[in-house]
Chain A
Amino acid sequence: MITIDNIHKSFDDHHVLKGISFEFETGKTNLIIGQSGSGKTVLLKSIVGLHTIDKGDILYDNRSWQEMTQDQRIELRTEMGMVFQGSALFDNMTVEENIGFPMLMYSKESTKAKQKRVAECIDRVNLTGSEDLYPSEISGGMQKRVAIARAIVMKPEYLFCDEPNSGLDPKTAIVIDKLIHEITKEYNITTIINTHDMNSVLQIGENILYLDKGEVGWKGDKSHIFNSENESLNEFVFASDLYQKLKEIKED
Chain B
Amino acid sequence: MKFLEEIGEYFYFMLKVFSKPQKHSVFFKQWALELYKVGVDSIGIVVIISFFMGAVLALQAAYNMTNPLMPTYLIGYGTRESMLLEFSSTIVSLILAGKVGSSIASEIGTMRSTEQIDALDVMGINSANYLALPKIMASLTINPILYILSVFVGITGGLLSSVTIGVSSLQDFIYGIRMDFKPYFIVYSEIKMVVFAFIITSLASYYGYTVRGGSLEVGRASTKAVVNSSILILISNLVLTQILL
Binding stretch for chain B, among A21-29, A83-91, A228-236: A83-91
CA distance A75 to B115 in the complex (A): 21
The minimal Cβ–Cβ distance linking B214 to chain A, given in whole angstroms, is: 11
- A78 lies within 8 A of chain B by Cβ: yes
CA distance A48 to B118 in the complex (A): 10
The minimal Cβ–Cβ distance linking B146 to chain A, given in whole angstroms, is: 24
Looking across the interface, which residue of chain A has its beta carbon closest to that of B22? Answer: A105
A84 touches B119 (CB 8 A): yes
- A242 lies within 8 A of chain B by Cβ: no
The one of A77, A101, A160 in contact with B124, judged by C-beta atoms closer than 8 angstroms, is A77
- A2 lies within 8 A of chain B by Cβ: no
B122 touches A73 (CB 8 A): no
Residues of chain A lying within 8 A (CB to CB) of residue B114: 86, 88
B122 touches A77 (CB 8 A): yes
Residues of chain A lying within 8 A (CB to CB) of residue B124: 73-78, 106
Please encode chain B, from 191 to 220, with 1 for each CB lying within 8 Å of some chain A CB and 0 for all others: 000000000000000000000000000000
**How many interface residues does chain B have, given as a range?**
10 to 19
A85 touches B115 (CB 8 A): yes
Please encode chain B, from 98 to 122, with 1 for each CB lying within 8 Å of some chain A CB and 0 for all others: 0000000000001000111011011
A88-112 residues with Cβ-Cβ distance < 8 A to B are 88-91, 101-102, 104-106
Q: Which of B110, B118, B123 has the most CB of A within 10 A?
A: B123
- B56 lies within 8 A of chain A by Cβ: no
Please encode chain B, from 20 to 33, with 1 for each CB lying within 8 Å of some chain A CB and 0 for all others: 00110010000000
Residues of chain A lying within 8 A (CB to CB) of residue B122: 48-50, 77, 80, 82, 160
Interface residues, chain A, CB within 8 Å of chain B?
Answer: 45, 48-50, 73-78, 80, 82, 84-86, 88-91, 101-102, 104-106, 160
Beyond the given A77-B122, A77-B124, please list 12 additional residue pairs across the A-B interface where CB-CB is below 8 A: A50-B122, A75-B124, A80-B122, A80-B123, A84-B115, A88-B115, A90-B119, A91-B110, A91-B116, A102-B123, A105-B22, A105-B123
